[in-house]
Each structure stands twice: as structure tokens, then as C-alpha cells.
Amino acid sequence: MALLNFAIEIAALPASGGVTRYRIQIDSPVGEASADLPSPFTTQAAADVLAILSREQKVSRQQEAQTARDIGERLFRFLFQTDERLTAIYIASLARAGEDGLRIRLNIENAGELAALPWETLRDPQRDVLALSRTSPVVRYTPQLTLRRLPPITYPLRVLVATASPASFPDLDTDGEWARLQAATTDLQARGLLELERLDHASLIGLQRRLRAKEYHIFHFVGHSDYDAANEQGVLAFEDESDPQKANIVTGIALGREIGEETTIRLVILNSCHSGRKPDQDALSGIASGLVQRGIPAVVAMQFIITDNAAKTFSEEYYRAIADNLPLDTAMSEARRAIANRVTGAEWATPVLYMRSDDGALFTPASQTPVQTAAIKGALTPTPIPPPPPKSPNPTSNRAAWVIGIILLLLLIVAGGVLFIAPALAPDPTSIPPTFTPPEPTVPPALADLQVGNIRISPRDPAPGEIFRLSVTINNIGGADSGPFNYAWDASLNDPVMLNAFSDRVENIPPGTSKNISFPFSYGWWGSYNTQVVVDVDSEVQESDERNNRRPFDITWQNLPFDIDFSLLPTNEIVEPPLAIDDETYAIWNFVIATNTTDLPDCDQTGLELAEQDGDILIQPAGNNICPNAPLEITILRRPVSDLQVELLPVVNGTVTLTFFADTDGVQPIFTMPDVPLAAGQLAFLSIGDDIAREIRRVEIDAGDQPVRLTRLTLFPPDEP
């Protein structure tokens, strides 16, 4: 696979009117394009995202993953969907690259505030996260003039692992990290493809001496690092030469000076927090970018904190992919996917690859080196070829060699002629070498190839809460039975709650045939949903091509009122009353119904249930509710609604008060509907019902001395769904 380069340069323009704009320039396989666009983030919004992904702000793993998806899509829209010229060149480049794929090469040297964003999260809604695919790796490109010739290599790859944990810094399990590296690469070392050496208690002078004494191909640092904002430079915590308990703060410039002296080092891996952080102005003062400036072809660094499990998974898969002779950027995508498969959250976006190589090659290809290679299970086992004898500078000897060569050539011609004109002479059979019979060509076994085919929804344009049916065709375009496999539908790729919203199992699809599946669903909000059908979600089927196992598509809802009669649950199950409900019952429809006990401190049992009254399903206090007359509150979880209507069935005559709030906590009232009369057993329909634009997040219903019994709820769409 020869990836085509798709180069993107982002540069901040001088602010005008308090607005910072950015120039995006693209150099692609199909031409060039540029556009000047405003920032996709405010300074505060960018800081909030970085706080979550760097784990300075504690959130759940699901929220971390959601944040990565959100910022990835916003960055993608900024680059490729805000300007039609950029959209066109991206689509045309994908078509030109075909199955070979595009290498997304980012130059953010002059991108100002945008340089700190995690560009590795770039997500095309039609293709998923770009950096997770070997056909669209994302690398950071640092322009510089220092280039190194690719050296030849004989295996094993020699890796120098420097570990440092001075006592003045938080304790770091360097022994454990070394053991994890050893375990992750055991197979590679046993096959003679990789060799690890440890520089324990690493000091800068110790590193200098070790590099001077022996050649290495990869330098791997395990320790502490940070970004010195005061001096705008990256620093690492090495150990003091005379006292390993003390720290020796080493700048990225100093490390680059030592590593830059060694022409055989092709890759540096910095397994330390914040080593990927890049300052806005001086690229040389950033640790990773500084090493690239010194001529190192590629540097892997961590832009955020990385856990032990993710670090081990990354090292294992990255070294394995490099030893399998994959390009550096493709190996990076493989390592990212390994993290995504094993570790929840968004740690797959933590590693950053700075690369100068145009093709991701780490060393000179085997055909250009004095190494003879033999394929063993996809890896390369080298056998050195003896060098040819040196040529003699003696012209007389050269003429003699020519004469001898001509004589030998004539003898061969004569011998060939004798064999040609005298075929009847039967030589001694024992002198005839055995005839070589080539082995029969190995016919690869036929494999299945599952493909997501046509997708249809009916009705075509449903409203929120309306049940629609999704129909999907799964094709087996391969040459063998598929056997059993699972499929799933992600109702929203942007919402972890709606991932794997529906799943089921298929027992078999014969080759050349299809299977149609369908199932019901309903959404609880307006707008457009990025959805995806995935077949063989557990990789049970051995396929000839797995790239067509996913198919994303969008579903857009009509901007109509969302009418709920409570006879159906969000899971599309028919309600069988009595049925207890809680905060999660209607969360997928983006609202919560509960009782408000703020002013009732003794009410510790205030449950609600779905009950039946004269054939209608309604929400009322549960039988064990010791405060049945507590007010009822409806909280909107997503964006505000413009209005909402409730339908109540009172038990006795009385009045009801509705209070509407602009916040979910109920501290910002925006409208009150007081003392609306109620008649026992007669339905009451209550809403604001005017044309004033409001943003409502919560309504509180207080029926005084009787319980609130809610039979219907209608939400009206926001002004901008």
C-alpha cells in the first residue's frame, strides 16, 4: 500500500475586529486549495476540551470518548466542510487514492491556539476517526532543512530504553515499565527482530556515553516530562549524574543535541506525559518537534497522560508493526486501534507522531540493502550477503580479466553449440541432474466477504417519538459461507448511550446471497443523527475484506412536536402496568420525570409508576409513595424546548400551578401559570401557548393537595433544532 500525501497547513492570521482567522492551505494528489476561516473554538471551549482529554477534569470514560468524538467532528468540519473548495479537494483526493489511502500530514507550526488541539481525533462522519485507519494515518509534519539518508539495517532492531525516576518527582514504576516492554516484545525478541537494552538511572552524560559506544536504531524514554510555560519549552526529568535521587532537568533542545549526533537513530519514543505538547512560537523548544528539527525522521510523543494499560498496548502493537516492516504512520494507526480495542475512553488519541519521511519508511528497503531476507509469517529474517571483493586499480590486471572473461564466454558458447547439434549423444544418466519440479501453486482458501448493502427507513421522515423501521441488507459477496456472526446498529455515533442501540445474530449467509433484517426504533429529539450499521462486530468471520463491514448514514427528523402518551417505552416495548420508572426510563428521549422533594425533607420514598386508568396509561405516584402530593418535575436533558404541553387527570377538584425554568436545576424561573382550575376526572391541557420565543429546560407541576397524574406530554421543538 503506497499512501498518497494529503498535506494541510494551518496558520493564524492577524486578528481583525477581535476575531482570529486561520488560513488553511491544502496540497493534495489532485491539486491545491486554500481558505481563510474563523476559529472553530473559543479559547474557553478549547481549554475545556483539553482539560477533559488531559484528565485534569475528572469525567467518566464514556464522557471522555464523547468529548473526543465531538472535537474530532468539529475539527473535521473546520477543515473540510466549512468551505466548498476544501470539501471538493478532500472528496476528490479520496477518490484518487482509492484503496491505497491518504496520509493526512498536518503542519501546525504557525497555528497559534489551534496547535494545542488534539488533531489526532479528526473524525469523518462517513469514515470514522481518520487516525484509527491504516488508510488515513494522521501525522504532524515539521518543516526543516536537516534531512538524513536512510541507512541500511540488519536485524535485530536495537532499542535503547532509558528510564529515569528521580526522588523529587512523583514515584514512577520504571521497573514495571521495563518489564511491560519486555513482555510486550517477547515474541519479537525470540524471532530475532528486536533487541532491548536498558539505560537505568538515565543521566544526560550517561546517555551520551552509551550512544557513543554502540549503534541503536530506536531511543525509548520512560520518565517524567512537562511543558515549562514560563520559558515556553519542553523539559524532561533525567537523573543527576552523581546522585540518581536528584533530578536533572533536560530541555528538549539538550536531548535533541545528543540524539541528533547519532545518524543511525531513526525513531524516538517518548513515553512520558505532555512530551507531545508543542509551543506556539518556537518549534525547537518543544521536545518532540525539537528532535525532528535535529533531523530525527520520526518522533512519537504523548500529548496527554497515558495509563499503564494503554502504554503497554501501544508499545506492543507499535513495535510489532515496525518489526513487520510497516511504515511508521501505518504502524501508528495499528497501535491506536489496539488501544481503542482494549482500553475504553480516548487514550488512542494520546500518542502523537511527528514525521518528516515522505513514505513512513524507517530504513532503506531490503532490496536496497546488503541484506538477504526471507519471509517468515510476514516478518523479515535477514541473512547478510558477503560483500564483493574489492576491485583492483591495476589496469594490466583489468585487461587480463577482460581476456579471461572473453575466453570463458567463448567456451560457454561452444559448449552450448555442442549440446545443440548433438542431442542424440546419450550422456550417462547418473550425470544428469534431477529435473526440478516446481511445487503446485497454493490456492488460497475461499473466504466470506460480508458487506452492508441497502439501508432504508420507513417512514422516510419520522418525527421525534414516532416509531420507524430500519431495514438493512447484508450481502456475502465472498466465496464461502459466513457462518454465525453478530451485527449491530449505532443509533448515534456522538452519543455513547445510543451506541449498539440494536443488535442481533445471523446464523449464516451463503456465498453470493443476501439477508434482509429490520427492526423498530424511535428517537427522542430533533435534528440529524450520525448512525452506523456494523456486521461481524466480534470478528468471528474470516473475511477477504473487512473494510466494507461498516456503513455510516444520517437520519434527519422532521421539525414537528414530540408527542408522548406513555403507552410505549423508549425501548419500543409496550407498557405493562404497573411499572416503576426512574431517572433512566426516559433518558434516551432526553427528559426525566421525577418528584420534587426540595421543600419536603421527610419524603424519602417518592417513587413514580406507569399505571392504567380507563384504558389510558398515566404517570402517578407509586403505591409506596409516602408523599403522594409532592410536585412533579419534568427536566429536559438536551437543548431547551420552545414550549411544552401537559395533560393531567385530576382525582378531585382543585387547582394546579405550572412554573417554567430556563435551567435544569429549577433556579431560573421564566414563566409561571398560577391557579389553573381542575375538575375531578376531566382531562386538563396546560401549556404557555403564546408566540414568545423561550428556552425551557424544566417545568414544575404542583397540584396542591392531590397527586399529579400525567397522561400525556408534548414537547415543542426549539427554534433551531
Residue 127 grid cell: 469514515
pLDDT at 429: 46
For cell 500525501, what's the residue?
5
Residue 110 grid cell: 504557525
Residue 472 grid cell: 438493512
DSSP reduced 3-state for 457: strand
CA atoms within a 13 Å half-sphere pointing along the CA-CB vector of 641? 30
pLDDT exceeding 90 applies to what percent of the chain?
27
- The H-or-E segment that residue 610 falls in is strand 608-613
pLDDT at 599: 73
Alpha carbon distance 719, 721 (integer Å): 6
- Mean pLDDT value across residues 222-251: 81
Residue 668, pLDDT > 60, answer yes
Q: What confidence tier does 557 reach under pLDDT thresholds 50, 70, 90?
A: confident
pLDDT at 417: 40
* Structural class in CATH, domain 450-557: mainly beta
Residue 204, pLDDT > 50, answer yes
pLDDT at 433: 47
Residue 676, pLDDT > 50, answer yes
pLDDT at 649: 92
**Which of 520, 517, 522, 518 minimizes the C-alpha distance to 462?**
522
Tally Cβ neighbours within 10 Å of residue 620: 21
Buried b (16+ CB within 10 A) or exposed e, 376-390: eeebbebeeeeeeee
Alpha carbon distance 506, 516 (integer Å): 10
Pairwise pLDDT comparison (518 vs 149), residue with the higher score: 518
Q: Choose the most confident range, by mean pLDDT, from 252-266, 476-490, 611-625.
A: 476-490
Residue 202 grid cell: 538515565
pLDDT at 439: 53
Which has the minimum average pLDDT: 44-48, 299-303, 465-469, 665-669? 465-469
Pairwise pLDDT comparison (220 vs 152), residue with the higher score: 220
- Mean pLDDT value across residues 45-58: 85
Q: Give the amino acid at 443.
A: V
pLDDT at 411: 38
Residue 565, pLDDT > 80, answer yes
Which has the minimum average pLDDT: 77-81, 688-692, 705-709? 688-692
**Which of 497, 476, 496 minimizes the C-alpha distance to 485?**
476
Residue 418, pLDDT > 70, answer no
pLDDT at 463: 74
Cβ neighbours of residue 104 closer than 8 Å, sequence gap 6 or more: 6, 8, 122, 130, 131, 136, 137, 138, 139
Q: What confidence tier does 427 reach under pLDDT thresholds 50, 70, 90?
A: very low
pLDDT at 17: 66
- CA terminus-to-terminus distance, the chain: 43
pLDDT at 364: 57
Residue positions counted in the chain? 721
Q: Choose the most confident range, by mean pLDDT, from 127-141, 175-189, 262-276.
A: 127-141
pTM of the model: 0.52
The arrangement of secondary structure in 563-716, i.e. its CATH architecture, is Sandwich (2.60)
Residue 422, pLDDT > 70, answer no
Tally Cβ neighbours within 10 Å of residue 321: 20
Contact between residue 451 and residue 466 where contact means Cβ atoms under 8 Å apart: no
Residue 79, pLDDT > 90, answer yes
Residue 391, pLDDT > 60, answer no
Q: What confidence tier does 440 reach under pLDDT thresholds 50, 70, 90?
A: low
Q: Where are the domains of the chain?
A: 4-140, 157-368, 450-557, 563-716
pLDDT exceeding 70 applies to what percent of the chain?
81
Q: What confidence tier does 123 reach under pLDDT thresholds 50, 70, 90?
A: very high
DSSP reduced 3-state for 440: coil
Alpha carbon of residue 521 to chain centroid? 27
Q: Choose the most confident range, by mean pLDDT, from 133-147, 307-321, 349-363, 691-705.
A: 691-705
Residue 61, pLDDT > 90, answer no
Residue 366, pLDDT > 80, answer no
pLDDT at 407: 38
pLDDT at 86: 92
The arrangement of secondary structure in 157-368, i.e. its CATH architecture, is 3-Layer(aba) Sandwich (3.40)
Buried b (16+ CB within 10 A) or exposed e, 583-598: eebbebbbbbbbbbbe
pLDDT digits (tens, 9 = 90+) for 279-327: 444 444 467 777 877 778 889 988 888 887 888 888 888 888 887 778 8
Q: What confidence tier does 401 reach under pLDDT thresholds 50, 70, 90?
A: very low
Cβ neighbours of residue 107 closer than 8 Å, sequence gap 6 or more: 7, 8, 9, 10, 140, 141, 142, 143
pLDDT at 362: 66
Residue 379, pLDDT > 60, answer no
pLDDT at 465: 73
pLDDT at 5: 92
Residue 721, pLDDT > 80, answer no
Contacts of 90-98 with CB under 8 Å at 24 or more apart are 90/6, 90/26, 90/28, 92/28, 92/30, 92/31, 93/4, 93/6, 93/28, 93/29, 93/30, 96/4, 96/29, 96/30, 97/3, 97/4, 97/6, 97/29, 97/135
3-state secondary structure 544-578: CCCCCCEEEEEEECCCCCEEECCCECCCCCECCCC
Strand partners, 476: 450
pLDDT at 601: 66
pLDDT digits (tens, 9 = 90+) for 610-645: 999 887 899 998 876 667 888 899 999 877 889 989
Q: What confidence tier does 441 reach under pLDDT thresholds 50, 70, 90?
A: low
- Mean pLDDT value across residues 330-359: 88
